[in-house]
Structure 1
Amino acid sequence: MCLADGCSNSNETLGPPLACHQEEPERDGHFERESGVPFSPEMTQGYADSPPMSTYKSSEQIRQSFLDFFREKGHEIVPSAPLVPQNDPTLLFTNAGMNQFKDVFLGTGTRPYRRAANTQKCLRVSGKHNDLEEVGHDTYHHTFFEMLGNWSFGDYFKREAIRWAWELLVERWGLDPDRLYVTVHEGDEALGLAPDTEAADLWKSETSIDPSHIKFCPTKDNFWMMGDTGPCGPCSEIHIDLRPDEERQRVPGITLVNADDPRVIEIWNLVFIQYNALPDGRLEPLKAKHVDTGMGLERIVAVLQGKTSNYDTDLFAPILQRAAELSPRPEVRGYDDLRVEDERERERIRVALRVVADHIRAIAFAIADGVVPGNTGRGYVIRRILRRAVRYGYQTLNFREPFLYRLVEPLAHKMGNVFPEIERHRAYVERVIRAEEESFLATLGTGLAFFERLLPYLKAAAEGRPIEAIREDLQRDSQAIDLLQKAYVDTADRKAMVEAFLKSAAEKNVPGEVAFLLHDTYGFPIDLTQLMAREEGLGVDMARYEELMQRQRERARAASTFGAVVLTADDEEAGWKRISEGEDSVFVGYDTTRVEAARIRALRTVETPHGPRHELVLDQTPFYAESGGQVGDTGVLRVGDEEIQVRDTQKLGGHIVHYVDRLPKEPDAPVEAVVDAARRKRIEKHHTATHLLHAALREILGTHVQQKGSLVAPDRLRFDFSHFERVTPELLRQIEARVNEVIQRNVPRIEERDVPFQEAIARGAMALFGEKYGDRVRVITFDPNFSMELCGGTHVAATGELGVFRIISEGSVASGIRRVEALAGQEALNWINQQLSELEQARGQFKSLQRPLDEEIALLLETQRRLEKELAALRRAQQKARLATLVEQAHRVNGLRVVTGEMEALSMDELRELVQALRDQMGREGVAVLGTTDPEKRKVYLAAAVTDDVVGRGVEAGRLVGEVARIVGGGGGGRPTLATAGGRQPEKLREALEAVPRLVQQMVG
């Protein structure tokens, strides 16, 4: 009962609706409730000649016009929610405008306003909204898009929503009413619903729409549900017919609504939430009725600007142009300025530019909202998108150096006014993207070369060429055989390896072994390998790939200290010996640190490289097993007359395993289990301090802060969190002071052990994305207005037990991930005393202090910096002095002075500064290319500059440096007067510089 596009068979409008019996093709799901996806080139064929508006409106004007319209109607204009849903672990990304109001619709939350409107950032690349593979190949799929929406929370309903939608589209924006069609729900006997004649009648009475343009459609198209149960209701979609007038007269538009015609498209969806779906399938009316609408900005901008493609609108133009300008390919001047004769190659370039332009929007906004590219969860999604963009840039646009990060600037300029976070965090976003690009580029070229080396044999076998001939060619290709041996590590026999490869290829598949090697060694996500294969008409042997991935996971687990052993009574292979029957591992440690009559359920000894490890499982235990960052308890087990030390406690397959120094002589005797209570108390202080720190970070730095990892130990705590930049000492002191203020208030712990998960989330409890929670959870609160988290760890009874809290360090552990280390209680006091002692020792190093200690140290450091600057200035002066010599040795080419030079080890910035100085020195008729190497990194840096008058003669710095870079195995580009490039063959730098006069000669003709 989810709304999707599709309804095409009914020509009737009002009165008894006809059911839509025609079977519809599977839809892409983007309009499950809101119109969020733009449209294809075919949609406006013939329509661009008669645009709906006489005056061009920019995307900024269109967006603002929508918001202004609903502000006039008494709506609160609310900010877009972040792409990372707040307190909603059920969502990977915000994918609809209603996400931030989900609690209102569920009846668990309220807002201080009853009418709202906004433009919402949305990202759809997972689940049923997975269009990543289509993005770029067509002109209407996107990863990131904006959703314009207006909401009523128990205020107005169908009448106003319908009237205002028509008023905005027709009277404010000037769309031709004769091109507009609407759909309403035809009713559903199974749900006990009659046709929504109320909405149909309102379209007739509140607007000027032609009644024949109203169409009834079934539940799958025109009834929206949040889930199997909960708020739901019928919806009314607004469609526009973009076909030429002649065709519209020949075929009525009503027959093409929801009929999958790309020129008759939905532009707005009005959802009327008026029922509550019960578990038994029945619907009951809601006391408060709501309105929830959505309109894709990219689509409506294209419609109002009369464009045939989303990418032709001003939303994408600046990014597309910058990407084209940056491309080292000289024939790529702009998205619509490609100096390429072959039409297929032209489209290939345009696809790559579209991929890059779309993906940088998703990547940049996700990072600005706290997502860091990584190997799991949201981070993995963004990494996949980024690597796809890099791959297209590498293969089609000839980028060999990071380039995506340079597209953040035009994006921020275009969208920073409405989404200020992209401008505010621009430097951070650029750093994260560049680091990811550099990391992937380091292996991308090698991985692509590997794939392309095997590709001819794969395609030959897939096309049915004689296997014998392919086998002979492959056997003679020593490089291809070497690559296969890396992939087929389990196949020692060369003949068997070749046969296995050719068998998979004959089945039109890239072997699973090849896909696994691309993933495991070269960092290619499997969907990237599938995409590359699909572009060549091939599939991937996913069964074999998954088998190899599973084996890798099992090897990783086997190598782990605490291997994944399943504890069962008859698992002799794992070494467990069953001592008694019954339930085991019941944790009672929240209430006590001692159990007097526990029973041993099972025990074993495991041989490790460090000696034997003894393990046992109890029926009940007060020992906390390591989880959630909190380390495991230690203590003693008293069995008969023995006292056995518990060295650690871990979870293993759902069981609590005690690691002990030896196994008991009488395992069937009663056990007294005693936790080291003093150590536990120190751990509890640091765990509570972690919660307070988390709350203070979100309060002072912002709600983008999300926990990314933690360690809670008796002697310290470590807390990793998402943040865009270094936390300044001033902010650290504020955070520390806030935690100490809560400690001084001695806030009591509120512990709730059996709270429904959704209720806890609705109340504002923090949940960590990626954690698995049951239907009922434990909630730990220290002041409901400050810290409330889902947590299974142990805590102090009140914050005053912490005594004092001290942050001892802050730093970066990965792109966009910061780490704070801190102390609480006696550990914090010990650290403070140590610092005071060191301060006294430092003071003692100065025989007589003329100034405060910090000023004396600052003076010494300033002296050092001054001397370093003087040394750097001398070095730059020497380099610039050499420029005059280089000019004297210039080559003469068609009246131009061509200067080249190999400089001593310099950074790219220093090299660019020198070539700029050389350009200024020459004045006119000058061309300069300088190069330098970094032998340790095996890198070449190149910088080129030409004087303004030379550009008119056909010599451009960007084109020139790109050609030179090819000789050193790289690429690059830039402006016509100044450009840079890089390469990975330092030994060819001299050859490259010697080629410059010849290249200039070719350019001036």
Structure 2
Amino acid sequence: MADGSTWSSTKVRQTFLEFFESKGHTIVPSSSVVPFDDPTLLQTDMLTNDFSFCNAGMNQFKPIFLGTIGKTDPMAKLKRATDTQKCIRAGGKHNDLDDVGKDSYHHTFFEMLGNWSFGDYFKKEAIEWSWELLTKVYGLDASRLYCSYFEGDPAMGLEPDLEAKQLWMAVGVPEDHIIPGNMKDNFWEMGDQGPCGPCSEIHYDKIGGRNAAALVNQDDPMVVEIWNNVFIQFDRQADKSLKSLPAKHVDTGMGFERLVSALQNTSSNYATDVFTPLFKKIQEVAGARPYTDKYGKDDVDGIDTAYRVVADHLRLLSFAISDGAAPNNIGRGYVVRRVLRRGARYARKYFKVEIGSFFSSLLPALVEQMGEQFPDLKQKQADIVEILDEEEVAFAITLDRGEKQFEKYAAAAIKAGENKLSGAEVWRLYDTFGFSTDLTQLMAEERGLTIDENEVEIAKEKAREASKAVKDAVQTFPKLNVHQIAELENEIKIPRPDAEPKYLKGDTKSKVQLIFTKDGFLKSSKDLSPKAPFGLILDKTNFYAESGGQVADTGRVIIDGTAEFRVLDVQEYAGYVVHNGYLEYGDLSAGDEVICEYDELRRHPIRSNHTGTHILNHSLREVLGDDINQKGSLVDADKLRFDFSYKTGVTLSQIAIIEDLSNRYIQQNLKTYTKDVDLGLAKQIEGVRAVFGETYPDPVRVVSIGVEVDELLENPKNPEWRKVSVEFCGGTHVDQTGIIKDLVIVEESGIAKGIRRIVAYTGEGAKNAQRDAKLFKEKLDRISAMDYGDEKAAAVKAAAVELDRLSISTLTKEELRKTFLGIQKLVVEEQKKRQKAESSTALTAVQKHFEQEENKDRKFYVGHLPISANAKAISDVMTYYKTKDKARSVYVFAGSKDDAVMHGVYVGTDLASKGVTAEEWTTAVSTVIGGKTGGKEPSRQGAGAEPAKLEEAVAKAEEWIAEKLKALSI
């Protein structure tokens, strides 16, 4: 038996890689857990949480297995490889989320150790090395290991993999430790079509001293699969049949955490040093009792389960965010968000900690443990902290209320003798409080309740269908006119609301004043039709009303469990704020106490973009001069758009300086200061920016970045203030500029005479633009290194379209465009050279035919030219005979039966005078090879739709003209 004390997790990983390196394998770094370039690993159904990350070690090698890897790809020459791959299984086909914490061996994030053969070695070496590493190097007790092999499937025409069985016996595995397995357990397929083959698993018995063969693949926590050797030897066809592959591959994957558990002689993966450093940090931060590795009913207080969930989720969150999967409501980002919320709820319920910075306080322990093997974790630590904290704070706002509402639903269900929550209730918990279905499921299980996912799906669809029409009606919400404003002020005597809370974070308690519809004011919504759009007037609001270029907030006005008003738009009229939207459920009346909840996760990037706009405005003046004046702006969650006066276009070198100045300002992490100031005094501040011609309130709100407003006012004419961004502004802003992260200018253009426009991204948008630019640069490098051919020409054509659509830094785009044009120029030159050569080859082939003694008097030529499917070469041959040798006729084919076929005919004057037409001839050929032809007599040209029938088509062309000439007695 291995000595567990000698096998630290770091040593286990390093030993694996070094072992296979000694066997001629190249150590390959782990790919990102976010496979941006693999659409097969991303689905988009939010309700079913069907989203995928990189979930197996083989993902980055798929192009090799599929035969689609470019010749110049760095991995194209690999014959043997080994790695430890970061994997996430928390959505999609492979989803271990529900099992995490409940058992000893499931994880949403894990490492997959692997060794690979690409058409090199096969079963014998894979099996021998597996056994050598486990028993000789790691020293595992051979009597505890069990190996499986594919038992065959007659229905699929598959024989048992007796070769694998014999190979296991050859290395010394007793026959009673070798178990046959079915298609589910022992046959691996990449998808419905493509590479596949039998696999051979290795299972480990954690107890020993017995024959545990009967427990293999029975979900026994003491007999677990640790390694799987896949022998890729077939290609699944569209008709489900199997063809043998010309090159056979080996694809293996060993669960790192499970291997460490075996080597450290623990009954649980969580009792190893993969997790114990994280548990110690959790204990330190939460002040909890120590971890004791109890499960199920033995974990009486649930704290051990919470330890496991929090540690597992910390790993997923940190690696997902470091690889670019920021939390949001779409795709992979939603997986990250729901995992964080699930973990946060466990942390608060069982560890009694405040939510807001819990996960980020644990991060240093993870970085210390895994930062060396995965350096991105260390390099992006600050970004991970910021994103984790932002998400926790946003969830903390609704967590209390959501749990209280859940308890109301649960209590009502239990009182009514029901054993489940209704689908409508589950959907409402998601829609209102951000509780994902699996989180509600977890809470329901704690109360002995169930949920019906079909009911949830029905509730979701009903809610979406009902709200679809009103969401399209944002522009049709009624607006307060001058008479209605006077009515509010003088007759109804409704005071203007307190709107100061819009500058604060968090919810605001308020009171309903009136309902506003196109027909006037109402005291209650009860008489309105369901989902009818209307406006809500409150006595206090934290919603930002559209103004100053900043878009309005969205969110909810709620009476928990009683009513929910969905806010789609917010407008201000002479100080009266109207929240436009519709009721999701319930009713609202004047006097109702409500909670105002704007969408913080939407407002966060808006703040960054608005402060970024101020910094950009300042940089523009610094670079382009004092004549720069703002002419308009738009600030939303995706971007900032800034219009300004300038007589000429902004040069690329100027854009570079503007962007650099802006980012240097941002990177100083300066504090943002605001204060309401007497308008006359505020105007005296040196360099203060304002929109020319706009009327400002008195007092006016001054926003200063980096210097306190009071300090500005002590000596408003100080010339130093010109170096500071100071503006009159009523918008929302970040507390410190570091939150913005980066500013990337993606567009500069003229929109009118003397008016220019800049569009820029900040924060996550800027990061995504930088990532997209990096990925495209790598693509250009690969294209550039490709040998010339159809594949490279097609890649260049596709890249041209992609480059035009890329929304990236203007500067980077220009650099990439220059690189691309250089590649394109070389391809065009090669194409011209190739075209000229193929046209010459084609014409020479036809001419040589007519030069032969026996063909000198022939009136026509039919033949397959020794060139690619080159339409221009065919056209050149036809043109030659049309202009230089008009009497003769030619019907030529080009291409390959395995690829594509072009064909064309010119009917010379000799045959044309006898009534032969190009249309008749090509029509006869098209009945064989398919496709259409076109052109004017005496020539036609086309592409064959069925290249496999090339030879048959050539024969048909000859046969048709022979029969035609015979009928004409020629």
TM-score by length of 1: 0.47
Structure with larger RCO (C-alpha < 8 A, sep 6+) = 1
Look at both structures and tell me which one has the larger radius of gyration over its CA atoms: 2
TM-score by length of 2: 0.49
